[in-house]
């Protein structure tokens, strides 16, 4: 991680807060939490969870590819069953789908929390930490119209998702999709959030109530 990025991360990172916002009397309905995945993003991951083994294998063979590189292996990606947003973020939907093919285990925290769990799962935690900081400084490439695609970030994510799978550590896939859409924000809010959740409060353990299939929080 660069010195600039490290300066932006709190020295005393806060644990992941999964408590829903409360409505204040007289203030109207609560505003949407911009850190939480949308219904459409959750629905996309649910559709991924319904794919058969052959489709998941096709996604796995395209892990980390751009659409141009991998679409011939999964021509059904744009079909009605996936309901893909064909706007600016279609490459991110494709990336998340191909990474899901590598590791469909779920988690309840963001990717920083998943990497904390990976570091606790055994092996060389210092090496995991170094890879994580490199990930936080990585960036997408750009499509011809300026949208995010490929780049070092896709490569680093593929490495860490495969490593997480080898240790039976899951990913909150809807949250990852949501966060990657905001990766390029100037305030680096996603990167700082992941960094804080890589260092949770003392004595914090893996989140309760993991859903090992969907990669999204269990329904209330």
Residue 30 lies in a domain: no
Residue 156 lies in a domain: yes
* Full residue range of the structural domain in which residue 57 is found: 36-198
Tell me how far apart the alpha carbons of residues 65 and 152 are, in angstroms, rounded to a whole number: 11
Alpha helices in 84-150, H assignment, sequence order:
90-102, 111-120, 125-137
Mean residue pLDDT across the chain? 80
Looking at residue 201, its pLDDT comes to 61
Looking at residue 36, its pLDDT comes to 92
Residue 56 lies in a domain: yes
Evaluate whether 139 touches 151 at the Cβ level (below 8 Å).
yes
Residue 133 has pLDDT above 60, yes or no: yes
- CATH number, domain of 81, equals 1.10.520.40
How many structural domains is the chain composed of? 1
Q: In the 8-state DSSP scheme, what is residue 11?
A: S
Which of 22-31, 77-86, 173-182 is most confident?
173-182
The band of 86, judged by pLDDT with boundaries at 50, 70 and 90, is: low
Least confident of 44-48, 77-81, 138-142: 77-81
Evaluate whether 107 touches 217 at the Cβ level (below 8 Å).
no
Looking at residue 115, its pLDDT comes to 96
What pLDDT digit, counting tens, does each position of 112-130 carry?
A: 999 999 999 977 899 999 9
Angle 148-153-82 (CA atoms, 0-180°, nearest 5)?
55
Tell me how far apart the alpha carbons of residues 202 and 167 are, in angstroms, rounded to a whole number: 22
Evaluate whether 93 touches 177 at the Cβ level (below 8 Å).
yes
Over residues 142-157, the mean pLDDT reads: 89
Over residues 170-199, the mean pLDDT reads: 96
Residue 122 lies in a domain: yes
What pLDDT digit, counting tens, does each position of 10-42 carry?
A: 444 444 444 444 433 344 444 456 789 999 999
The three-state secondary structure class of 31 is coil
Looking at residue 21, its pLDDT comes to 41
Residue listed under structure tokens 């916002």: 21
Phi first, then psi: give them for residue 179, nearest 5 degrees. -70, -40
Looking at residue 87, its pLDDT comes to 79
Residue 52 lies in a domain: yes
Residue 219 lies in a domain: no
The band of 149, judged by pLDDT with boundaries at 50, 70 and 90, is: confident
The percentage of the chain sitting over the pLDDT mark of 90, rounded to a whole number, equals 57
Tell me how far apart the alpha carbons of residues 37 and 173 are, in angstroms, rounded to a whole number: 9
Residue 14 lies in a domain: no
What tokens does 17 get?
């807060």
Residue listed under structure tokens 């700082």: 192
Tell me how far apart the alpha carbons of residues 106 and 208 are, in angstroms, rounded to a whole number: 12
Evaluate whether 104 touches 49 at the Cβ level (below 8 Å).
yes
Residue 17 lies in a domain: no
What predicted TM-score, i.e. pTM, was given to this entire model? 0.77
In the chain the first and final C-alpha atoms are separated, in Å, by 37
Looking at residue 116, its pLDDT comes to 95
Evaluate whether 94 touches 86 at the Cβ level (below 8 Å).
no
């Amino acid at each position: 991680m660069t010195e600039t990025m490290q300066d932006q991360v709190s020295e005393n990172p806060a644990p992941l807060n999964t408590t829903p916002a409360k409505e204040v009397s007289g203030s109207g309905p609560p505003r949407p939490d911009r850190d939480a995945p949308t219904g459409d993003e959750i629905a996309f991951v649910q559709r991924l969870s319904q794919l058969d083994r052959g489709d998941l294998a096709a996604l796995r063979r395209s892990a980390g590819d751009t659409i141009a590189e991998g679409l011939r292996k999964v021509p059904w990606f744009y079909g009605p069953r996936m309901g893909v947003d064909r706007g600016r973020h279609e490459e991110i939907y494709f990336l998340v789908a191909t990474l899901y093919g590598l590791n469909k285990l779920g988690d309840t925290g963001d990717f920083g929390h998943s990497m904390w769990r990976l570091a606790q799962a055994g092996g060389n935690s210092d090496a995991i930490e170094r890879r994580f900081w490199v990930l936080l400084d990585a960036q997408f490439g750009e499509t011809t119209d300026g949208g995010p695609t490929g780049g070092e970030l896709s490569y680093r994510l593929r490495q860490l998702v495969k490593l997480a799978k080898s240790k039976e550590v899951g990913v909150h896939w809807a949250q990852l999709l949501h966060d990657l859409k905001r990766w390029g924000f100037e305030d680096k809010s996603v990167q700082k959030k992941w960094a804080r959740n890589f260092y949770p409060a003392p004595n914090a353990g893996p989140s309760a109530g993991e859903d090992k299939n969907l990669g999204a929080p269990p329904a209330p």
